[in-house]
Amino acid sequence: MDFVFRRRYRGRLKAVILDWAGTTMDFGCCAPAAAFIQVFNRQGVGITLEQAREPMGMHKRDHIEKILQMPAVAKRWREVHSGAWTAADVERMYREFVPIQLECIAQHADLIPGTVKACGEMRARGLKIGTSTGYNDEMLKLILDEGKKRGFEPDSSVCATMVTAGRPAPWMCFQNAMNLGVYPMEACVKAGDTPQDIYAGLNAGVWTVGFAVSGNMMGLPQGELNALKPRERETRRERAYTRLAEAGAHYVVDGIWDLPDVLDAIDERLAQGERP
């Protein structure tokens, strides 16, 4: 029998890459969903909140195209516009989407409770903090400004328009790692509230953590979430946990306030020679 040397990283974590809407800012991930609904309403093609949320996490142009590809939406489009949608329609809707999204972001810019504390704990561990988002450059600048006002300022921020492709491609994770100067990739964690976040992290070879309650999977601002009857809240929570786990997340927790404990568990696994 032949034996080969297998290299293993046994050090500690070096960086965490966080999403924005639904992860660090905008509890319930409300700003993007509202913007997509407005854009489609302007075309005379109404979409449901569930349809608006389904592709969440992708580059926003790709997100619009994914919604248009849904059979029910494509059917309504043909009825209203007497023909199938085209690439030109996607581009036009994306251009209309941008100013609407900027306005919605400004209305939903509060940090998710626990963000500042969790990031402080991460920095105390010596971790660097990166961020990634399906927003474009202009939107990223706005959320960076709003986040800084509220006490959140990451070390690196990458948006979908800065790389060749957004999620589920791994490029934003790789660019963050380059910006932060960290390697190997198993020393990084990708945390977010959508399956697209998980797919991007897995494709990049990093540890992945899904946030089930604070973001798109639950899809409710904090006040509405707290107003739910306990049984309904738990049912929706379990559904969100299942969806993120099925996407392949190594861990699923309620929100960023739970992340420090997960990082402890990952450090222990790394020390034993485990990889994502």
* C-alpha to C-alpha distance for 210 and 245, rounded to whole angstroms: 8
Which among 2, 14, 26, 60 is annotated as catalytic?
60
60 is catalytic: yes
Q: At what angle do helices 195-204 and 171-180 cross, to 10 degrees?
A: 60
| Residues 63, 56 contacting (CB under 8 angstroms) | yes
Label residue 12 exposed, middle or buried (CB < 10 Å: 0-12, 13-18, 19+). Answer: middle
Sequence-ordered alpha helix ranges (H) in 23-170: 30-42, 49-53, 60-69, 71-81, 87-107, 115-124, 137-149
- Residue the block writes with tokens 């990283």: 9
CA–CA distance, 248 with 136 (Å, rounded to integer): 26
> Is residue 19 among the annotated active site residues?
yes
Q: Which long-range contacts (CB under 8 A, 24 or more apart) does 263-266 make?
A: 263/13, 263/16, 263/122, 263/125, 263/127, 263/189, 266/13, 266/189, 266/207
Question: In this structure, what token pair is assigned to residue 121?
Answer: 């704990």
3-state secondary structure of 131: strand
Q: What is the distance between the alpha carbons of residues 114 and 118, in angstroms, rounded to a whole number?
A: 6
Alpha carbons within 13 angstroms on the beta-carbon side of residue 68 total 24
Q: Which residues are catalytic?
A: 19, 60
